[in-house]
Structures are given as C-alpha cells and as structure tokens.
C-alpha cells in the first residue's frame, strides 16, 4: 500500500493504481476481510473508482443478499464454528452475534442448523 501511495505522490498514477489493485486482490484472497479503509482511500486518491464494500443489491435473495462479511460468517457457522471461534478468526469478537442477527433476518432462518442448510443450498 505504501508503494502505491509513493507512486501516486510521484505522479505515476497508472503504476500506483496497478500496485494498489494488486494489494486489493491479495487482501480479497484472505477470507477475513475486504481491503481496509486506508487501502480503499489510497486507490481512490490515485484516481481509481472504489465501490462500497460488502453491500448487496436490495433485490437479492438468499445467500446473495448477504454482505461479504455476513457470507463468511454464515459459511463458518455452516462449518460448525462457534461464535467465539468466528470472532477470534475474523478479529471481531463483539460483533459476531450482531452479524448473525442480520444474517438470520435476511435468510428468514431462526437456527444455526437452518443457516447451515441455507448456505449449502446457496453453494449449489
């Protein structure tokens, strides 16, 4: 990210965007989080459009209606992970229950078992 910033400040906008997009691609490969806010800010400062992270179109249904973070949490629940394990892996311990509440509402489920079934159906 710092290399991208330096390239941008030196005036090499195209190379800055290329480097910052590589950073974004590398972070997306990590299951726990989208590109951090500072990284998105650097890409935007270099002149590249950066969309909102984790939001879905309101017309989406099922798993497609979940944000990126919610989808990761739903998949971890389907794997049998506890809230504590999920919070530790994603570094969001106090927020797992809140995310699960939103996931349950969006998917119309009320148990972790139903959530697991919904995730399985979404994979097919």
Domain ranges of the chain: 2-45, 62-123
Lowest mean pLDDT among 2-16, 34-48, 104-118: 34-48
What is each CA distance from 50 to 2, 13, 19, 38, 72, in whole angstroms?
A: 18, 15, 14, 12, 21
CATH of 62-123, one of 1.10.10.10, 3.40.50.200, 3.40.50.2300, 3.40.605.10: 1.10.10.10
**Closest to 86 (Cα-Cα) out of 26, 78, 117:** 78
**Cut 0.85: pTM above it:** no
pLDDT at 47 over 90: no
Annotate 27-56 with b (16+ C-beta within 10 A) or e (fewer): eeeeeebbbeeebbebbebbebebeeeeeb
pLDDT one-digit tens code per residue, 58-91? 556 788 888 888 899 999 999 999 999 998 888 8
């Amino acid at each position: 990210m710092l290399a991208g910033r330096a390239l941008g400040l030196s005036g090499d906008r195209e190379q800055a965007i290329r480097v910052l997009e590589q950073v974004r691609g590398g972070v997306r490969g990590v299951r726990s989080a989208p590109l951090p806010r500072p990284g998105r800010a650097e890409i935007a400062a270099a002149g590249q459009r950066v969309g909102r992270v984790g939001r879905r179109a309101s017309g989406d249904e099922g798993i497609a209606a979940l944000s990126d973070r919610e989808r990761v949490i739903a998949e971890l629940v389907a794997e049998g992970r506890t809230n504590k394990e999920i919070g530790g892996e994603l570094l969001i311990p106090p927020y797992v229950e809140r995310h699960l509440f939103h996931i349950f509402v969006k998917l119309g489920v009320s148990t972790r078992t139903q959530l697991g079934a919904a995730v399985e159906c979404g994979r097919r």
